[in-house]
Chains A and B, each alone.
Chain A
Amino acid sequence: VHTQNHGLEYDGCNFFRQRLVLSTLSGKRVRIKNIRSKEDDPGLRDFEASFIRLLDKVTNGSRIEINQTGTVLFYQPGLLYGGAVEHDCNPQRSIGYYLEALLMLAPFMKTALKATLRGVTNDPIDPTVDLLKTTALPLMKKFGIDGAGFDLKVVKRGMAPGGGGEVLVTCPVRRTIKPVQLRDPGKIKRIRGVAYSVRVSPQMANRIVDSARSVLNQFLPDIYIYTDHMKGANSGKSPGFGLTLVAETLNGCFLSAEMSSTPQGQGDPVLPEDLGRNCAKLLLEEIYRGGCVDSSNQSLALLLMTLGQQDVSKVLLGPLSPYTIEFLRHIRDFFQIMFKIEVQKPLEDERKGGDKVLMTCVGVGYSNINKTLK
Protein backbone atom coordinates (compact mmCIF):
# COMPACT_ATOMS: atom_id res chain seq x y z
CA VAL A 1 0.00 0.00 0.00
CA HIS A 2 1.39 3.35 -1.00
CA THR A 3 -0.16 6.67 -0.26
CA GLN A 4 0.44 9.24 -2.95
CA ASN A 5 -1.23 12.39 -4.18
CA HIS A 6 -3.79 10.28 -5.93
CA GLY A 7 -4.86 8.44 -2.80
CA LEU A 8 -4.27 4.83 -1.88
CA GLU A 9 -2.62 2.49 -4.29
CA TYR A 10 -3.09 -1.26 -4.62
CA ASP A 11 -1.98 -4.11 -6.82
CA GLY A 12 -4.13 -6.69 -8.54
CA CYS A 13 -7.81 -7.35 -9.02
CA ASN A 14 -8.39 -9.30 -5.82
CA PHE A 15 -10.47 -7.54 -3.12
CA PHE A 16 -11.74 -5.22 -5.82
CA ARG A 17 -15.11 -4.56 -4.18
CA GLN A 18 -13.65 -3.95 -0.71
CA ARG A 19 -11.37 -1.28 -2.05
CA LEU A 20 -14.01 0.56 -4.04
CA VAL A 21 -16.61 0.34 -1.26
CA LEU A 22 -14.24 1.62 1.42
CA SER A 23 -13.02 4.31 -0.95
CA THR A 24 -16.59 5.46 -1.51
CA LEU A 25 -17.40 5.51 2.20
CA SER A 26 -14.19 7.22 3.28
CA GLY A 27 -14.00 9.60 0.32
CA LYS A 28 -10.40 8.58 -0.30
CA ARG A 29 -9.25 8.17 -3.86
CA VAL A 30 -7.88 4.82 -4.89
CA ARG A 31 -5.67 3.58 -7.71
CA ILE A 32 -5.48 -0.10 -8.53
CA LYS A 33 -2.71 -1.15 -10.88
CA ASN A 34 -1.36 -4.41 -12.32
CA ILE A 35 -4.83 -5.81 -12.81
CA ARG A 36 -4.14 -9.24 -14.34
CA SER A 37 -1.19 -7.59 -16.05
CA LYS A 38 0.70 -10.87 -16.49
CA GLU A 39 -2.19 -12.91 -17.83
CA ASP A 40 -2.91 -13.68 -21.45
CA ASP A 41 -6.10 -11.72 -21.21
CA PRO A 42 -5.07 -8.71 -19.11
CA GLY A 43 -7.19 -6.06 -17.49
CA LEU A 44 -10.62 -5.77 -15.97
CA ARG A 45 -13.26 -8.39 -16.70
CA ASP A 46 -16.80 -7.64 -17.76
CA PHE A 47 -18.20 -8.33 -14.30
CA GLU A 48 -15.84 -5.80 -12.76
CA ALA A 49 -16.83 -3.23 -15.34
CA SER A 50 -20.44 -4.04 -14.52
CA PHE A 51 -19.71 -3.48 -10.83
CA ILE A 52 -18.14 -0.11 -11.58
CA ARG A 53 -21.20 0.88 -13.58
CA LEU A 54 -23.43 -0.04 -10.63
CA LEU A 55 -21.24 2.06 -8.35
CA ASP A 56 -21.53 4.92 -10.81
CA LYS A 57 -25.33 4.61 -10.75
CA VAL A 58 -25.65 4.92 -6.98
CA THR A 59 -23.16 7.79 -6.68
CA ASN A 60 -23.06 11.31 -7.98
CA GLY A 61 -19.90 12.82 -9.38
CA SER A 62 -17.62 9.79 -9.24
CA ARG A 63 -14.62 9.93 -11.50
CA ILE A 64 -13.43 6.67 -12.98
CA GLU A 65 -10.43 6.37 -15.24
CA ILE A 66 -9.23 3.15 -16.80
CA ASN A 67 -6.18 2.84 -19.01
CA GLN A 68 -6.33 1.36 -22.48
CA THR A 69 -5.46 -2.21 -21.49
CA GLY A 70 -7.66 -2.08 -18.42
CA THR A 71 -4.80 -2.92 -16.06
CA VAL A 72 -4.94 0.37 -14.14
CA LEU A 73 -8.03 1.82 -12.51
CA PHE A 74 -8.33 5.19 -10.84
CA TYR A 75 -11.42 5.89 -8.77
CA GLN A 76 -12.38 9.15 -7.16
CA PRO A 77 -15.60 8.62 -5.22
CA GLY A 78 -18.53 10.96 -5.49
CA LEU A 79 -21.46 11.34 -3.13
CA LEU A 80 -23.70 8.38 -2.45
CA TYR A 81 -27.02 9.27 -3.98
CA GLY A 82 -29.13 6.11 -3.99
CA GLY A 83 -32.76 6.33 -5.04
CA ALA A 84 -34.31 4.09 -7.67
CA VAL A 85 -31.65 2.14 -9.51
CA GLU A 86 -31.90 -0.56 -12.13
CA HIS A 87 -28.91 -2.63 -13.09
CA ASP A 88 -28.20 -5.60 -15.29
CA CYS A 89 -25.51 -7.48 -13.40
CA ASN A 90 -23.05 -9.22 -15.67
CA PRO A 91 -23.79 -12.97 -15.47
CA GLN A 92 -20.11 -13.90 -15.05
CA ARG A 93 -20.80 -13.39 -11.34
CA SER A 94 -24.06 -13.78 -9.50
CA ILE A 95 -26.09 -10.91 -8.07
CA GLY A 96 -24.65 -11.78 -4.66
CA TYR A 97 -21.29 -10.42 -5.77
CA TYR A 98 -22.80 -7.02 -6.49
CA LEU A 99 -25.24 -7.12 -3.62
CA GLU A 100 -22.63 -7.77 -0.94
CA ALA A 101 -21.02 -4.46 -1.81
CA LEU A 102 -24.29 -2.64 -2.35
CA LEU A 103 -25.54 -3.61 1.13
CA MET A 104 -22.41 -2.06 2.62
CA LEU A 105 -23.21 1.24 0.92
CA ALA A 106 -27.01 1.22 1.12
CA PRO A 107 -27.53 2.77 4.61
CA PHE A 108 -25.33 5.75 3.74
CA MET A 109 -27.17 7.04 0.68
CA LYS A 110 -28.79 10.46 0.34
CA THR A 111 -32.15 8.95 -0.49
CA ALA A 112 -33.39 5.47 0.38
CA LEU A 113 -32.16 2.87 -2.06
CA LYS A 114 -34.58 0.95 -4.23
CA ALA A 115 -32.50 -1.22 -6.50
CA THR A 116 -33.65 -3.72 -9.09
CA LEU A 117 -30.83 -6.09 -9.94
CA ARG A 118 -31.07 -8.55 -12.81
CA GLY A 119 -28.81 -11.47 -13.52
CA VAL A 120 -27.80 -14.74 -11.89
CA THR A 121 -29.47 -15.14 -8.51
CA ASN A 122 -27.84 -18.45 -7.57
CA ASP A 123 -24.45 -19.89 -8.41
CA PRO A 124 -21.92 -21.96 -6.46
CA ILE A 125 -19.28 -19.20 -6.17
CA ASP A 126 -20.82 -16.19 -4.46
CA PRO A 127 -23.34 -15.91 -1.62
CA THR A 128 -26.78 -16.31 -3.17
CA VAL A 129 -29.52 -13.74 -2.79
CA ASP A 130 -31.39 -16.19 -0.55
CA LEU A 131 -28.43 -16.38 1.82
CA LEU A 132 -28.00 -12.61 1.98
CA LYS A 133 -31.70 -12.20 2.62
CA THR A 134 -31.67 -14.54 5.59
CA THR A 135 -28.33 -13.54 7.16
CA ALA A 136 -27.10 -10.10 6.07
CA LEU A 137 -30.42 -8.33 6.62
CA PRO A 138 -30.97 -9.54 10.22
CA LEU A 139 -27.34 -8.63 10.96
CA MET A 140 -27.80 -5.09 9.66
CA LYS A 141 -30.95 -4.77 11.77
CA LYS A 142 -28.83 -5.27 14.87
CA PHE A 143 -26.91 -2.14 13.94
CA GLY A 144 -30.10 -0.09 13.82
CA ILE A 145 -30.75 -0.38 10.10
CA ASP A 146 -34.35 -1.52 10.05
CA GLY A 147 -37.88 -0.47 9.38
CA ALA A 148 -40.60 -1.38 6.97
CA GLY A 149 -38.57 -0.29 3.97
CA PHE A 150 -35.81 -2.80 4.52
CA ASP A 151 -36.32 -5.80 2.31
CA LEU A 152 -34.83 -8.09 -0.27
CA LYS A 153 -37.25 -9.81 -2.58
CA VAL A 154 -36.44 -12.52 -5.09
CA VAL A 155 -38.82 -11.69 -7.92
CA LYS A 156 -37.43 -14.10 -10.49
CA ARG A 157 -34.91 -16.83 -10.01
CA GLY A 158 -32.11 -17.22 -12.54
CA MET A 159 -29.51 -19.93 -12.21
CA ALA A 160 -25.98 -19.76 -13.64
CA PRO A 161 -24.86 -19.59 -16.39
CA GLY A 162 -27.88 -18.07 -18.16
CA GLY A 163 -29.26 -15.94 -15.39
CA GLY A 164 -32.50 -14.13 -16.05
CA GLY A 165 -33.30 -13.62 -12.38
CA GLU A 166 -34.37 -10.44 -10.66
CA VAL A 167 -34.22 -9.15 -7.10
CA LEU A 168 -35.59 -6.01 -5.53
CA VAL A 169 -33.62 -4.44 -2.68
CA THR A 170 -34.93 -1.60 -0.59
CA CYS A 171 -32.96 -0.11 2.26
CA PRO A 172 -33.70 2.90 4.45
CA VAL A 173 -31.12 5.61 5.10
CA ARG A 174 -29.45 6.04 8.47
CA ARG A 175 -27.62 9.06 9.83
CA THR A 176 -25.61 7.06 12.36
CA ILE A 177 -24.94 3.41 13.06
CA LYS A 178 -25.60 1.91 16.47
CA PRO A 179 -22.67 0.25 18.27
CA VAL A 180 -23.34 -3.37 19.19
CA GLN A 181 -22.30 -5.89 21.81
CA LEU A 182 -22.66 -9.35 20.33
CA ARG A 183 -20.64 -11.58 22.62
CA ASP A 184 -22.88 -14.57 23.11
CA PRO A 185 -24.75 -16.15 20.22
CA GLY A 186 -26.88 -18.33 22.49
CA LYS A 187 -28.01 -21.80 21.60
CA ILE A 188 -29.49 -22.75 18.26
CA LYS A 189 -33.24 -23.10 18.57
CA ARG A 190 -34.25 -23.87 15.02
CA ILE A 191 -33.07 -24.46 11.50
CA ARG A 192 -34.82 -23.04 8.49
CA GLY A 193 -34.02 -23.35 4.84
CA VAL A 194 -35.08 -22.94 1.26
CA ALA A 195 -34.70 -25.71 -1.29
CA TYR A 196 -35.18 -24.17 -4.70
CA SER A 197 -35.46 -25.62 -8.15
CA VAL A 198 -36.09 -24.11 -11.55
CA ARG A 199 -36.56 -25.74 -14.94
CA VAL A 200 -36.15 -29.21 -13.41
CA SER A 201 -38.66 -31.53 -11.80
CA PRO A 202 -40.18 -29.97 -8.65
CA GLN A 203 -39.46 -33.31 -7.01
CA MET A 204 -35.76 -32.33 -6.87
CA ALA A 205 -36.45 -29.88 -4.04
CA ASN A 206 -38.21 -32.57 -2.01
CA ARG A 207 -35.29 -34.94 -2.45
CA ILE A 208 -32.92 -32.22 -1.19
CA VAL A 209 -35.11 -31.58 1.84
CA ASP A 210 -35.25 -35.23 2.87
CA SER A 211 -31.50 -35.77 2.73
CA ALA A 212 -30.67 -32.52 4.55
CA ARG A 213 -33.16 -33.36 7.30
CA SER A 214 -31.63 -36.78 7.82
CA VAL A 215 -28.36 -35.13 8.90
CA LEU A 216 -29.78 -32.24 10.90
CA ASN A 217 -32.42 -34.18 12.79
CA GLN A 218 -29.63 -35.70 14.89
CA PHE A 219 -29.43 -32.36 16.67
CA LEU A 220 -32.77 -30.64 16.58
CA PRO A 221 -36.40 -31.46 15.93
CA ASP A 222 -37.36 -27.93 14.88
CA ILE A 223 -36.32 -27.99 11.24
CA TYR A 224 -38.35 -26.61 8.40
CA ILE A 225 -37.10 -26.35 4.86
CA TYR A 226 -39.37 -24.60 2.42
CA THR A 227 -39.48 -25.76 -1.16
CA ASP A 228 -39.49 -23.02 -3.75
CA HIS A 229 -40.21 -23.96 -7.34
CA MET A 230 -40.53 -21.01 -9.67
CA LYS A 231 -42.17 -21.52 -13.02
CA GLY A 232 -42.55 -19.90 -16.41
CA ALA A 233 -41.29 -16.34 -16.72
CA ASN A 234 -39.96 -16.41 -13.15
CA SER A 235 -37.65 -19.36 -13.68
CA GLY A 236 -34.81 -17.71 -15.58
CA LYS A 237 -32.83 -19.13 -18.45
CA SER A 238 -30.95 -22.10 -16.98
CA PRO A 239 -32.01 -25.19 -15.08
CA GLY A 240 -30.71 -25.89 -11.60
CA PHE A 241 -31.46 -26.42 -7.94
CA GLY A 242 -29.91 -25.73 -4.59
CA LEU A 243 -30.34 -25.34 -0.86
CA THR A 244 -29.82 -22.55 1.67
CA LEU A 245 -29.82 -23.48 5.36
CA VAL A 246 -29.92 -21.08 8.29
CA ALA A 247 -29.55 -21.91 11.98
CA GLU A 248 -31.18 -19.35 14.25
CA THR A 249 -30.03 -18.91 17.85
CA LEU A 250 -31.93 -17.76 20.93
CA ASN A 251 -30.16 -14.38 20.79
CA GLY A 252 -31.15 -13.82 17.19
CA CYS A 253 -27.88 -14.71 15.49
CA PHE A 254 -27.88 -16.52 12.16
CA LEU A 255 -25.40 -19.07 10.86
CA SER A 256 -25.81 -20.23 7.32
CA ALA A 257 -24.62 -22.61 4.65
CA GLU A 258 -25.58 -23.17 1.08
CA MET A 259 -24.96 -25.18 -2.02
CA SER A 260 -26.03 -24.85 -5.62
CA SER A 261 -26.02 -27.39 -8.41
CA THR A 262 -23.18 -27.08 -10.90
CA PRO A 263 -24.12 -24.72 -13.71
CA GLN A 264 -25.32 -26.40 -16.88
CA GLY A 265 -22.43 -27.46 -19.06
CA GLN A 266 -19.75 -26.89 -16.42
CA GLY A 267 -18.43 -29.99 -14.68
CA ASP A 268 -20.17 -33.05 -13.29
CA PRO A 269 -23.85 -32.87 -12.39
CA VAL A 270 -24.81 -33.29 -8.73
CA LEU A 271 -27.47 -35.53 -7.26
CA PRO A 272 -30.00 -33.65 -5.14
CA GLU A 273 -29.49 -36.19 -2.30
CA ASP A 274 -25.76 -35.50 -2.20
CA LEU A 275 -26.32 -31.78 -2.37
CA GLY A 276 -28.75 -31.86 0.55
CA ARG A 277 -26.47 -33.98 2.71
CA ASN A 278 -23.33 -32.00 1.90
CA CYS A 279 -25.05 -28.71 2.50
CA ALA A 280 -26.25 -29.93 5.91
CA LYS A 281 -22.66 -30.87 6.72
CA LEU A 282 -21.51 -27.42 5.64
CA LEU A 283 -23.99 -25.99 8.12
CA LEU A 284 -22.49 -28.18 10.85
CA GLU A 285 -19.09 -26.84 9.85
CA GLU A 286 -20.39 -23.29 10.13
CA ILE A 287 -21.84 -24.07 13.56
CA TYR A 288 -18.45 -25.50 14.56
CA ARG A 289 -16.85 -22.20 13.56
CA GLY A 290 -19.62 -20.43 15.41
CA GLY A 291 -19.71 -16.85 16.63
CA CYS A 292 -22.52 -14.33 16.40
CA VAL A 293 -21.99 -13.66 12.69
CA ASP A 294 -21.53 -16.32 10.06
CA SER A 295 -18.38 -16.50 7.98
CA SER A 296 -19.79 -14.89 4.85
CA ASN A 297 -20.94 -11.77 6.72
CA GLN A 298 -17.87 -11.15 8.83
CA SER A 299 -16.71 -8.17 6.81
CA LEU A 300 -20.16 -6.56 6.78
CA ALA A 301 -20.25 -6.75 10.58
CA LEU A 302 -16.73 -5.35 10.90
CA LEU A 303 -17.55 -2.48 8.55
CA LEU A 304 -20.64 -1.49 10.51
CA MET A 305 -18.63 -1.69 13.75
CA THR A 306 -16.03 0.63 12.23
CA LEU A 307 -18.61 3.14 11.07
CA GLY A 308 -20.54 3.08 14.34
CA GLN A 309 -20.85 5.96 16.76
CA GLN A 310 -17.81 6.67 18.89
CA ASP A 311 -18.41 3.88 21.32
CA VAL A 312 -17.08 0.39 21.89
CA SER A 313 -18.45 -2.39 19.72
CA LYS A 314 -17.77 -6.03 20.41
CA VAL A 315 -18.63 -8.94 18.15
CA LEU A 316 -17.76 -12.59 18.58
CA LEU A 317 -16.75 -14.26 15.32
CA GLY A 318 -15.62 -17.68 14.27
CA PRO A 319 -12.14 -17.99 12.75
CA LEU A 320 -11.40 -15.06 10.45
CA SER A 321 -11.67 -15.90 6.77
CA PRO A 322 -8.82 -14.82 4.47
CA TYR A 323 -11.21 -12.34 2.88
CA THR A 324 -12.00 -10.84 6.29
CA ILE A 325 -8.32 -10.56 7.21
CA GLU A 326 -7.72 -8.55 4.07
CA PHE A 327 -10.79 -6.47 4.84
CA LEU A 328 -9.35 -5.60 8.26
CA ARG A 329 -6.18 -4.38 6.57
CA HIS A 330 -8.20 -2.27 4.20
CA ILE A 331 -10.20 -0.78 7.07
CA ARG A 332 -6.89 0.24 8.62
CA ASP A 333 -5.82 1.87 5.35
CA PHE A 334 -9.04 3.80 4.78
CA PHE A 335 -10.27 4.56 8.31
CA GLN A 336 -7.15 4.15 10.49
CA ILE A 337 -9.04 1.75 12.72
CA MET A 338 -7.35 -1.31 14.15
CA PHE A 339 -9.37 -3.92 15.94
CA LYS A 340 -8.48 -5.61 19.17
CA ILE A 341 -8.42 -9.31 18.32
CA GLU A 342 -8.74 -11.83 21.14
CA VAL A 343 -8.85 -15.57 20.61
CA GLN A 344 -11.24 -17.46 22.84
CA LYS A 345 -10.43 -21.14 23.28
CA PRO A 346 -13.31 -23.43 24.18
CA LEU A 347 -13.20 -24.94 27.67
CA GLU A 348 -12.18 -28.56 27.93
CA ASP A 349 -15.56 -30.12 28.56
CA GLU A 350 -17.37 -27.65 26.34
CA ARG A 351 -18.88 -29.04 23.17
CA LYS A 352 -19.31 -25.81 21.26
CA GLY A 353 -17.01 -26.17 18.30
CA GLY A 354 -13.66 -24.53 17.70
CA ASP A 355 -11.84 -21.33 18.63
CA LYS A 356 -13.72 -18.06 18.53
CA VAL A 357 -12.39 -14.57 18.00
CA LEU A 358 -13.66 -11.55 19.90
CA MET A 359 -13.31 -8.39 17.83
CA THR A 360 -13.38 -5.03 19.60
CA CYS A 361 -13.15 -1.54 18.21
CA VAL A 362 -14.27 2.02 18.80
CA GLY A 363 -16.29 3.33 15.91
CA VAL A 364 -15.11 6.33 13.91
CA GLY A 365 -18.42 8.09 14.53
CA TYR A 366 -19.30 8.13 10.86
CA SER A 367 -22.31 10.23 10.11
CA ASN A 368 -24.11 10.18 6.84
CA ILE A 369 -23.54 13.65 5.45
CA ASN A 370 -25.42 12.73 2.30
CA LYS A 371 -28.71 12.25 4.10
CA THR A 372 -31.09 15.16 3.67
CA LEU A 373 -32.47 16.83 6.77
CA LYS A 374 -36.21 16.79 7.00
Chain B
Amino acid sequence: EEDSDEESGEESEGKDDEAAEKNMSNIYISSISFGFFFSGIYIFTLSTGALCWKEGLQQKASEAFLRQQQAAPNLRKMVYGSDDSEEEEEEELGGLFRVSRPQKSKKTQANALDCSHFKADLSHNWDLEEMLNSIRDCFVTGKWEEGQDAA
Protein backbone atom coordinates (compact mmCIF):
# COMPACT_ATOMS: atom_id res chain seq x y z
CA GLU B 1 0.00 0.00 0.00
CA GLU B 2 2.77 2.31 0.92
CA ASP B 3 4.34 1.74 -2.43
CA SER B 4 1.19 2.66 -4.30
CA ASP B 5 0.77 5.69 -2.10
CA GLU B 6 4.22 6.82 -2.92
CA GLU B 7 3.63 6.21 -6.57
CA SER B 8 0.44 8.20 -6.62
CA GLY B 9 2.22 10.86 -4.65
CA GLU B 10 4.90 10.95 -7.23
CA GLU B 11 2.35 11.13 -9.97
CA SER B 12 0.60 14.07 -8.46
CA GLU B 13 3.97 15.64 -7.96
CA GLY B 14 4.71 15.04 -11.57
CA LYS B 15 1.54 16.88 -12.53
CA ASP B 16 2.44 19.66 -10.17
CA ASP B 17 5.81 19.78 -11.78
CA GLU B 18 4.22 20.20 -15.14
CA ALA B 19 2.03 22.97 -13.83
CA ALA B 20 4.98 24.55 -12.16
CA GLU B 21 6.91 24.18 -15.34
CA LYS B 22 4.31 26.16 -17.21
CA ASN B 23 4.26 28.79 -14.52
CA MET B 24 7.93 29.06 -14.38
CA SER B 25 8.47 29.16 -18.08
CA ASN B 26 6.75 32.49 -17.79
CA ILE B 27 9.13 33.59 -15.11
CA TYR B 28 12.17 32.19 -16.78
CA ILE B 29 13.36 33.60 -19.98
CA SER B 30 16.54 31.67 -20.05
CA SER B 31 16.09 27.94 -20.35
CA ILE B 32 19.54 27.34 -18.94
CA SER B 33 18.79 28.88 -15.61
CA PHE B 34 15.47 27.02 -15.63
CA GLY B 35 17.15 23.62 -15.84
CA PHE B 36 19.65 24.66 -13.26
CA PHE B 37 17.02 25.63 -10.72
CA PHE B 38 14.82 22.65 -11.44
CA SER B 39 17.48 20.07 -10.67
CA GLY B 40 17.71 21.76 -7.29
CA ILE B 41 14.03 21.09 -6.64
CA TYR B 42 14.38 17.38 -7.20
CA ILE B 43 17.12 17.11 -4.64
CA PHE B 44 14.96 19.01 -2.24
CA THR B 45 11.92 16.72 -2.64
CA LEU B 46 14.04 13.65 -2.20
CA SER B 47 15.38 14.82 1.10
CA THR B 48 12.07 15.89 2.66
CA GLY B 49 9.50 13.91 0.76
CA ALA B 50 6.87 16.49 1.69
CA LEU B 51 5.41 19.11 -0.59
CA CYS B 52 6.77 22.04 1.35
CA TRP B 53 9.07 22.87 -1.56
CA LYS B 54 6.11 24.48 -3.19
CA GLU B 55 6.09 27.28 -0.69
CA GLY B 56 7.17 30.56 -2.14
CA LEU B 57 8.01 28.90 -5.41
CA GLN B 58 7.57 31.96 -7.48
CA GLN B 59 9.71 34.04 -5.20
CA LYS B 60 12.46 31.44 -5.15
CA ALA B 61 12.30 31.21 -8.89
CA SER B 62 12.61 34.91 -9.39
CA GLU B 63 15.45 35.09 -6.90
CA ALA B 64 17.33 32.34 -8.68
CA PHE B 65 16.67 34.01 -11.96
CA LEU B 66 18.08 37.31 -10.75
CA ARG B 67 21.08 35.53 -9.29
CA GLN B 68 21.73 33.84 -12.60
CA GLN B 69 21.29 37.07 -14.47
CA GLN B 70 23.80 38.82 -12.30
CA ALA B 71 26.29 35.99 -12.46
CA ALA B 72 26.22 35.55 -16.21
CA PRO B 73 25.47 38.30 -18.63
CA ASN B 74 24.31 36.14 -21.45
CA LEU B 75 27.55 35.87 -23.33
CA ARG B 76 26.37 32.99 -25.42
CA LYS B 77 23.54 35.07 -26.75
CA MET B 78 25.91 37.94 -27.34
CA VAL B 79 28.22 35.74 -29.38
CA TYR B 80 25.83 33.44 -31.20
CA GLY B 81 22.66 35.55 -30.95
CA SER B 82 20.54 35.96 -34.03
CA ASP B 83 22.27 38.65 -36.00
CA ASP B 84 20.62 37.59 -39.25
CA SER B 85 17.37 39.14 -38.04
CA GLU B 86 18.29 42.63 -39.13
CA GLU B 87 17.35 42.58 -42.76
CA GLU B 88 18.30 45.62 -44.70
CA GLU B 89 15.36 47.46 -46.10
CA GLU B 90 15.82 50.01 -48.76
CA GLU B 91 12.90 52.15 -49.66
CA GLU B 92 12.40 52.92 -53.24
CA LEU B 93 11.04 56.17 -54.53
CA GLY B 94 9.14 55.88 -57.76
CA GLY B 95 10.78 52.56 -58.41
CA LEU B 96 13.95 54.27 -59.54
CA PHE B 97 15.70 56.01 -56.68
CA ARG B 98 16.85 54.41 -53.49
CA VAL B 99 16.82 56.17 -50.16
CA SER B 100 20.34 56.08 -48.92
CA ARG B 101 20.54 55.70 -45.16
CA PRO B 102 23.57 56.32 -43.02
CA GLN B 103 25.41 53.07 -42.50
CA LYS B 104 24.52 51.15 -39.40
CA SER B 105 27.24 50.50 -36.85
CA LYS B 106 27.47 46.90 -37.98
CA LYS B 107 27.90 47.94 -41.56
CA THR B 108 30.76 50.27 -40.84
CA GLN B 109 32.40 47.56 -38.78
CA ALA B 110 32.37 45.29 -41.81
CA ASN B 111 35.11 47.36 -43.40
CA ALA B 112 37.04 48.22 -40.25
CA LEU B 113 40.68 47.39 -39.65
CA ASP B 114 41.33 43.65 -39.38
CA CYS B 115 43.35 43.55 -36.17
CA SER B 116 43.40 41.10 -33.27
CA HIS B 117 44.56 43.70 -30.76
CA PHE B 118 42.31 44.07 -27.71
CA LYS B 119 42.16 47.67 -26.53
CA ALA B 120 42.74 48.30 -22.85
CA ASP B 121 39.93 49.44 -20.58
CA LEU B 122 40.54 53.18 -20.24
CA SER B 123 38.59 53.38 -16.97
CA HIS B 124 41.39 51.51 -15.22
CA ASN B 125 43.94 53.85 -13.72
CA TRP B 126 46.99 51.80 -12.87
CA ASP B 127 48.46 54.61 -10.77
CA LEU B 128 45.89 53.99 -8.05
CA GLU B 129 46.71 51.71 -5.16
CA GLU B 130 43.16 50.36 -5.38
CA MET B 131 43.71 49.02 -8.89
CA LEU B 132 47.09 47.57 -7.99
CA ASN B 133 45.51 45.75 -5.06
CA SER B 134 42.88 44.21 -7.32
CA ILE B 135 45.50 41.94 -8.91
CA ARG B 136 47.87 41.32 -5.98
CA ASP B 137 46.95 37.66 -5.61
CA CYS B 138 47.76 36.90 -9.23
CA PHE B 139 51.41 36.87 -8.22
CA VAL B 140 53.36 34.34 -6.16
CA THR B 141 53.98 37.19 -3.75
CA GLY B 142 50.23 37.50 -3.07
CA LYS B 143 47.97 35.56 -0.73
CA TRP B 144 47.77 31.80 -1.30
CA GLU B 145 44.64 29.73 -1.04
CA GLU B 146 44.50 27.12 1.67
CA GLY B 147 45.85 23.79 0.58
CA GLN B 148 48.27 25.40 -1.80
CA ASP B 149 51.86 26.05 -1.10
CA ALA B 150 54.55 28.20 -2.58
CA ALA B 151 56.83 25.19 -2.82
Interface residues of A (CB under 8 A from B): 1, 11-17, 34-36, 38-39, 97, 100, 125-127, 187-189, 215, 218-221, 250, 281-282, 284-285, 287-290, 295-296, 299, 320-323, 325, 328-329, 332, 338-343, 345, 350-353, 357
Interface of B is mostly: loop
Whether A341 contacts B116 by the Cβ 8 Å rule is: no
Chain B residues contacting A11 (CB-CB under 8 Å) are 110
Assuming A34-B110, A353-B134, is B115 touching A343 (CB within 8 A)?
A: no
Assuming A11-B110, A39-B111, A320-B75, is B116 touching A187 (CB within 8 A)?
A: no
> Would you list the 9 A-B pairs with minimal beta carbon distance, nearest first?
A12-B110, A321-B118, A295-B118, A281-B126, A351-B137, A12-B111, A341-B75, A351-B136, A343-B72
Q: Does B51 contact A (CB under 8 A)?
A: no
Q: Does B90 contact A (CB under 8 A)?
A: no
Q: Does B140 contact A (CB under 8 A)?
A: yes
Q: Does B85 contact A (CB under 8 A)?
A: no
Whether B79 contacts A126 by the Cβ 8 Å rule is: no
User: Which of A100, A215, A352 is within 8 Å of B116, CB to CB?
Assistant: A100
Assuming A39-B111, A299-B116, is B80 touching A329 (CB within 8 A)?
A: yes
Whether B110 contacts A187 by the Cβ 8 Å rule is: no
Whether A323 contacts B118 by the Cβ 8 Å rule is: yes
Q: Does B50 contact A (CB under 8 A)?
A: no
Q: Which residue of B lies closest to A187 (CB)?
A: B140
Whether B126 contacts A338 by the Cβ 8 Å rule is: no
Whether B115 contacts A125 by the Cβ 8 Å rule is: yes
Q: Does B1 contact A (CB under 8 A)?
A: no
Chain A residues contacting B142 (CB-CB under 8 Å) are 187, 351
Chain B residues contacting A125 (CB-CB under 8 Å) are 113, 115, 117
Whether A321 contacts B79 by the Cβ 8 Å rule is: no
User: Which of A14, A126, A189 is within 8 Å of B111, CB to CB?
Assistant: A14
Instruction: List 11 other contacts, CB 8 Å, given A221-B141, A345-B71.
Output: A12-B112, A14-B110, A14-B111, A16-B114, A34-B110, A284-B132, A288-B124, A289-B118, A320-B75, A329-B79, A351-B138
